[in-house]
Amino acid sequence: MIYRQLGKTGRQVSVIGLGCEHLDGEPFARVKETVDAALEHKVNIFDVFMPGKRIREDIAAALGARRDKVMIQGHICSTDVNQQYDISRDMPTVRRYFDDMLRIFGGYIDFGMLFFIDSEEDFKNVFETDIADYADKLRHRGYIKHIGFSSHNPQTAIKAINTGLPEMMMFSVNPAFDMLPAGEYTLKHFDEGIDPKMLRGLDPKRAELYRLCAAKQIGVTVMKPLCAGKLLSKEHTPFSQPLTAPQCISYALSRPAVSCVLPGCKTPAEISDVMRYFELDDKEPDYAEILGAVKNDFRGSCVYCSHCLPCPAGIDIAAVNRHLDTARLDKSDIPSGVRLSYSELPRRGGDCTGCKNCEKRCPFGVSVSANMSEAESLFGA
């Protein structure tokens, strides 16, 4: 297992975690063997958004004395008042469900997630009401260690981050969602299927969100990295061919600020399957050619795929481009953390010889050598 720091929370999370939603409704024995398999693979972060008492108690029972080996993302406002998944913004109801979650998981939750901040209404009903204060108080009293939120909408997510309250975010990240035009609500396409004709290249609003997260050290955990399996299916993929699970994981983990993906698994075999990501050779997780074949209105934007390597000067081109893109958000105020990360790269923009071998291999038309010069002049001073 590989671990990454989850932004400013400082917590080290496994790059592959467990999304527990598909365990809902399964018998306890299945829950237990899946939780055991995750722990055997050294997974240390679980997402538990489900409001149901039984599934929460089954996961806690499966963990048993190993509760402290795992960080739990628990969701504030996730309820099942009418026996179905629901969202409540009613404070007594919200408190009742989250109090129960605290009781079930040993009196604390690692990441208290403000649930489903997708619309302007969601934002107002959470960030401009007692619910945000409630989360803040939970943090001050140690019942939650960090405040996070979940969203599928880049515009609203940016607004939530700019309140300064959250330290981390769970966001839906996969190549199909990232390539839908700005303003398209991804969950609608999740349900209805994604029309290949709609894909237009990496949506600048989503790219802006990832860069903002990097600049503000908002750690990102990823839901729907496989688009519920649609990207793996010949029938449903919007690309010229299906992607593999490792390609989807690799894509999500190469977005700026992303620390961990949370694929939903409901058996030990499914856990073993996603863990194949660690056994592949360098070429197998490469998604660039499949994505590069899509009509792209934003050619020239780096998608951090590393398809342009090897660089004779030994530069990690995707890493330099990632730092450069973050710095471009506000060139007059580059975050010190971004400067530090750039300075720690073993080879930097200034090492570029301008050979342009990389540009011949880049499917996205990125002017790499010009980017290297710009990075050096921005960071090198």
Question: Can residue 114 be called a binding residue for ligand SF4 (CB under 6 A)?
Answer: no
Nearer to ligand SF4 by Cβ, of 262 and 305: the residue is: 305
Q: CA 188 to CA 192: how far, in whole Å?
A: 6
CB of 305 to ligand SF4, least distance (A): 4
Contact indicator for 114, 132 with CB cutoff of 8 Å: yes
- The shares of helix, strand and coil residues in the chain, as percent rounded to the nearest 5, are 45, 15, 40
Nearer to ligand SF4 by Cβ, of 157 and 305: the residue is: 305
> What does DSSP assign to residue 105?
T
CB of 309 to ligand SF4, least distance (A): 7
CB of 90 to ligand SF4, least distance (A): 46
Contacts of 242 (CB under 8 A, 6+ apart): 231, 232, 233, 234
Contact indicator for 117, 126 with CB cutoff of 8 Å: yes
Q: CA 43 to CA 270: how far, in whole Å?
A: 14
CB of 359 to ligand SF4, least distance (A): 7
CB of 290 to ligand SF4, least distance (A): 13
Nearer to ligand SF4 by Cβ, of 339 and 361: the residue is: 361
Contact indicator for 361, 311 with CB cutoff of 8 Å: no
Binding-site size for ligand SF4 (CB under 6 A) equals 28
Tokens 């628990």, located at residue: 74
Exposure pattern of 319-333 as b/e (b: 16+ CB <10 Å)?
bbbbbbbbbebeeee
Enumerate residues 332-371 that contact ligand SF4 by CB under 6 A. 352-358, 362, 364, 366, 368-369
Nearer to ligand SF4 by Cβ, of 254 and 267: the residue is: 254
Nearer to ligand SF4 by Cβ, of 131 and 288: the residue is: 288
**CB hemisphere CA count around 373 (13 angstroms):** 7
Token duo for residue 253: 């983990």
Q: CA 375 to CA 342: how far, in whole Å?
A: 9
Q: Among 91, 110, 3, which Cα is nearest to 47's?
A: 110
CB of 179 to ligand SF4, least distance (A): 13
Enumerate residues 263-322 that contact ligand SF4 by CB under 6 A. 288, 302-308, 311-313, 315, 317-318, 321
CB of 352 to ligand SF4, least distance (A): 3
Map residues 158-197 to x or -, x wherever contact with ligand SF4 holds by CB under 6 A: ----------------------------------------
- Interface residues with ligand SF4 (CB under 6 A) are 288, 302-308, 311-313, 315, 317-318, 321, 352-358, 362, 364, 366, 368-369, 372
